[in-house]
Amino acid sequence: MTRKPEPEVVPRPLTPVELELMHIVWRLGEVSVADVLAALPPERALAYTSVSTVLRILEQKGVVESRKQGRGHLYSAVLPRDAYEAQSVRHLVETVFDGTPSALVARLVEAVPLSASEVDQLRELLDAKGRKP
Amino acid sequence: MTRKPEPEVVPRPLTPVELELMHIVWRLGEVSVADVLAALPPERALAYTSVSTVLRILEQKGVVESRKQGRGHLYSAVLPRDAYEAQSVRHLVETVFDGTPSALVARLVEAVPLSASEVDQLRELLDAKGRKP
DNA sequence: GATTTAGAACTAAGCCCTTAGTAGTTTGCG
DNA sequence: CGCAAACTACTAAGGGCTTAGTTCTAAATC
């Protein structure tokens, strides 16, 4: 009935709000609560305390770290965006595509509209990969 | 404070247990609670009532439907696996990769070990895509 | 037809997520 | 120094997820 405390093979994705704030942290580097608040789109009016709470949760999860600065704290990412992207893709391959990466890409090119230039870009990526395995 | 009831642009992913059961439903087609229970790996000993509850939640969400059969119910997928895969990829592109599909693939080929044959497969997918846009 | 049994519905407990208020502390300013 | 503003920690409420027990009903068996 209780959650298994074993370290997860593929870490659990960030929750929607956590991810929303992390995008800001990744973009700005080192941020105060006020910075995050200011960076949110106008229609997304979170309370100061809500942002503060989520940042504290993220710190508790080890996703960001903070250092004291003047009156408040400055938060910065411990988990780089690259790493989270990689983690997310792995998680999706694992849980939805039976661990088969090509199945994901197959579905992607079929289900998501791709511009010609994007297709070209992908081809280049594969060529680079194919030449030095 | 309450969740906005607007229809989501990209539907929320299934929860871990829901997805776990859906894999079984997709594989077996039309299943009873007992079927699902039997299809679970031995180390995954869910109670009958737990499976029943999750299937009922899935039905409530419109992901499966049921018809009465003798003593119990038979559940079958309303949401095909294809569609869910597409939905999941779109969701990931949207929330993690800024809506840029090629960024996802770039991260994939970098972060997930791909066999040479998988790389070839991907190339073929792209060729097929490139020829008829 | 009565009893056993299989299943569904209801319920609940524990946990996490989201949002935010309140209270208390620290800092900067006059 | 004292006050106002900013900031943090604590707390809470509402909702969803996970797991499962209990209870009630319907079906199968004798």
Nearest nucleotide (CA of A55 to C1'): D8
Q: Please give the pLDDT value at position A92.
A: 97
Residue B119 amino acid letter: V
**What pLDDT shows up at residue A59?**
96
Residues B44 and B89 in one domain: no
Please report the pLDDT score of residue A50 as a whole number: 96
Alpha helices in B45-96 (DSSP H): 48-60, 81-96
Q: Do A112 and B90 touch (CB under 8 A)?
A: yes
Is the pLDDT higher at A71 or at A4?
A: A71
Task: Give the number of other CB atoms < 10 A from CB of residue A5.
Answer: 6
Q: What is the mean pLDDT of residues B18-42?
A: 96
Question: In terms of domains, do A91 and A106 share one?
Answer: no
User: Does B101 lie in the same domain as B116?
Assistant: yes
Residue B6 pLDDT > 60: no
Instruction: Determine the length of chain B.
Output: 133
Q: How confident is the model at residue A2 (pLDDT cuts 50, 70, 90)?
A: very low
How far away is chain B from the Cα of A101, in angstroms, using its nearest Cα? 7
Torsion region of A62: left, alpha or beta (phi above 0 gives left; psi -120 to 50 gives alpha): left
Q: Are residues B47 and B65 in the same domain?
A: yes
How far is it, in rounded angstroms, from Cα A111 to Cα A113? 7
Residue B94 confidence (pLDDT): 95
**C chain positions with any atom within 7 Å of a protein CB:** 6-22, 26-28
The CA distance from B70 to the nearest CA of chain A, in Å, is 32
Tally of domains in chain B = 2
Identify which of A52, A105, A63 has the alpha carbon closest to the alpha carbon of residue B101: A105
pLDDT of amino acid B126: 85
Residue A121: name the closest of B90, B126, B112, B114 by CA: B126
Check whether residue B95 has its CB closer than 7 Å to nucleic acid strand C. no
* CA–CA dist B18, B56 (Å, integer): 10
Higher pLDDT, residue A70 or B29: B29
Q: What is the structure's pLDDT at A127?
A: 84
pLDDT single digits (tens) A55-113 = 999 999 999 999 988 888 999 999 999 999 999 999 999 999 999 999 999 999 999 98
Question: For residue B59, how many other CB atoms are within 10 A of its CB?
Answer: 15
Domain boundary among B60, B77, B94: B77
End-to-end C-alpha distance for chain A, whole angstroms: 45
How far, in Å, CA of A124 to CA of A42, rounded?
39
CATH number for the domain spanning B71: value is: 1.10.10.10
Chain B CB contacts of A124 below 8 Å: none
A15 and A76 share a domain? yes
- The pLDDT score that the predictor gives to residue B40 is 96
Q: Please say if the pLDDT value at position B45 is more than 70.
A: yes
Closest Cβ–Cβ partner in A89, A111, A116 for B108: A89
Task: Quickly give B3 CA vs D29 C1' distance in Å.
Answer: 51
Contact state of B96 with A103 under an 8 Å Cβ cutoff: no
Residue A3 confidence class, pLDDT cut points 50, 70, 90: very low
Contact B101 A118 (CB under 8 A): yes
Are the C-beta atoms of residues B56 and A53 closer than 8 Å to each other?
Answer: no
Same domain? For B45 and B89 the reply is no
> What's the rounded Cα separation, in Å, for the pair A26 and A29?
6
Q: Looking at the structure, do residues B53 and B90 belong to the same domain, yes or no?
A: no
Query: Gap from A50 CA to D13 C1', in Å?
Result: 14
Query: In a 10 Å sphere around its CB, with 0-12 CB exposed, 13-18 middle and 19+ buried, how is residue B32 labelled?
Result: buried
Q: Residue A58, CB, less than 7 Å from strand D?
A: no
- B34 in a structural domain: yes
Q: Is the pLDDT of residue B10 over 80?
A: no
> B71 CA, D28 C1': separation in Å?
10
Does any domain span residue B5? no
- Distance, CA of B16 to C1' of D19, in Å: 13
Range(s) of the domain holding residue B60 = 16-77
Phi, psi of A61 (to 5 degrees): -80, -5
Q: Is nucleic acid strand D under 7 Å from A56's C-beta?
A: yes
pLDDT in tens, B76-124: 999 999 999 999 999 999 999 999 999 999 999 999 888 888 888 888 8
Give the pLDDT score at A39.
96
CA pair distance B68, B96, nearest whole angstrom:
41
Helices and strands (H and E) in chain A: how many = 6, 3
* Residue B70: inside a domain: yes
Tell me: pLDDT of A8 over 60. no
- Residue-wise pLDDT for A16-57, tens only, equals 999 999 999 999 999 999 999 999 999 999 999 999 999 999
On chain A, the residues whose CB falls within 8 A of the CB of B107 are: 82, 85-86, 89
What residue has token string 């998501």?
A: A112
Query: A77 has which bridge partners?
Result: A64
SS (H, E, C) B1-47: CCCCCCCCCCCCCCCHHHHHHHHHHHHHCEECHHHHHHHCCCCCCCC
Q: Rounded to 5 degrees, what are φ and ψ at B74?
A: -115, 130
